[in-house]
Amino acid sequence: MKKLIQVQPPLGCDPEFFFRKRKTIVGAEKIIPSGGIESVGGKVIIDGVQAELNPTPSVCRMILGDNIALCFMRLARGLATHKGIQADFSQTVKVSKRQLNTLDPKYQKFGCMPSKNTDIKSESKEGTIDVNPLEYKNRSAGGHIHIGRMDSNWSEAVDTDKAISTPDILVPLLDAIVGNTFVLIDRDEGNVERRKLYGRAGEYRTPPHGLEYRTLSNIWLRSYQVMSLATGLCRHAVMVLATGQENADAILNAVPRADIVKAINENDFALALKNYKKIMRVLLPMTPSNHFFPITRVNKKQFDYFVEKGIDHWFPQSPLKHWTRTSRGEGFNDFLRYRVAEEMELNK
């Protein structure tokens, strides 16, 4: 296997969230104007019951994080005019029939159409949605990540665009490296319900700009650090395939596909942990130990401790408050290196 060659495809995202007044979910159309809320970092739009963030993409995770923050800062100013309304970052919520009936019919429906899925054995690979959105009260918030094509390759030895254009290989790699790993972090039981409709293993779309990975929930909006982890792992998966088929095969053969699918679709922490250990035994030897990669041989012990303590331990604050602070802290690698390592040392 070759050592991974570092490339920087553009990274974007369109995570969703909700609005709430006390215990009641309020449709996004009641808060956001039909044209959306624009900021210098992107836009917040209506997407069914949910609101959706459309930050400007970037090849740099820090700049993408800044654009997300600018969108949320603009949203926070708008929320100040809506008494009692709060942003709700739950993965799954229930919407009352009464509240649904107050919404425009086009927003009562699901915001997303069915995805493609690598595990569907048909030419179209299109999934289906078999519930009536006017009767089905659950709504979920996805955390889709977009990987863009590069204007030019950094090295003749790496064909990044070809990697992004090969979803039958890249999406299973994303499941192994990103989706399975995030089961360790996103332990919300609502994920099982969410994945009856959206966010299953293997879900993707192929927009003109590249590939959209659609398996994650919005959990990575909890903080800049978790966003840095999610987008960094997506880039990590692209580099595995772009470096060579041998590298990709090593990861895909480390764990049976059925085990990855089961761990993600059933949000099975124990199985995901077993899968993760097998994957890391293959992934880390090909991964340079630098800030380009979220998990390396240097910080794996810190990452394992991060998982053990749980996301609520590290980021108990409101995501909106986190993103609208002047300082959101360091990136994920430095977070492991300092914050997590310091706590590990104190607890020895």
Q: Which domain holds residue 261?
A: 11-119+128-346
Tell whether 57 is covered by a domain: yes
116 in Cβ contact with 167 (< 8 Å): yes
Residue 248 contacts by C-beta under 8 Å, 6 or more apart in sequence? 169, 173, 240, 241
Mean pLDDT of 47-51: 88
Tell whether 3 is covered by a domain: no
**Total tally of structural domains belonging to the chain:** 1
**pLDDT confidence of residue 264:** 97
Residue 112 has pLDDT above 70, yes or no: no
Residue 42 has pLDDT above 90, yes or no: yes
Tell whether 56 is covered by a domain: yes
Tell whether 6 is covered by a domain: no
Quote the pTM value.
0.92
What band does 160 get if pLDDT is binned at 50, 70 and 90? low
C-alpha to C-alpha distance for 248 and 32, rounded to whole angstroms: 43
Tell whether 227 is covered by a domain: yes
Tell whether 37 is covered by a domain: yes
Residue 137 has pLDDT above 80, yes or no: no
Give the Å distances, CA to CA, from 80 to 16, 37, 39, 83, 84. 20, 14, 16, 7, 9
**pLDDT confidence of residue 337:** 95
C-alpha to C-alpha distance for 173 and 300, rounded to whole angstroms: 19
Place of tokens 């990861």: 251
Tell whether 1 is covered by a domain: no
pLDDT in tens, 279-315: 999 999 999 999 899 999 999 999 999 999 999 999 9
In terms of DSSP H, where are the helices of the chain?
61-79, 97-101, 105-108, 160-164, 167-174, 180-183, 190-194, 224-243, 245-252, 257-265, 269-283, 300-309, 311-314, 319-323, 332-334, 341-346
Amino acid code (one letter) for 292 = F
Q: Given phi > 0 = left and psi -120 to 50 = alpha, else beta, which region is 199?
A: left
Residue 342 has pLDDT above 50, yes or no: yes
146 in Cβ contact with 211 (< 8 Å): yes
pLDDT in tens, 215-270: 999 999 999 999 999 999 999 999 999 899 999 999 999 999 999 999 999 999 99
Tell whether 4 is covered by a domain: no
**pLDDT confidence of residue 101:** 67
Give the Å distances, CA to CA, from 6 to 144, 170, 228, 243, 292. 23, 16, 16, 9, 8
Mean pLDDT of 129-141: 64
Residue 197 contacts by C-beta under 8 Å, 6 or more apart in sequence? 110, 129, 131, 140
C-alpha to C-alpha distance for 333 and 244, rounded to whole angstroms: 25
Q: How many Å is the Cα radius of gyration of the chain?
A: 20
Place of tokens 């008494």: 83
Q: Label residue 83 exposed, middle or buried (CB < 10 Å: 0-12, 13-18, 19+).
A: exposed
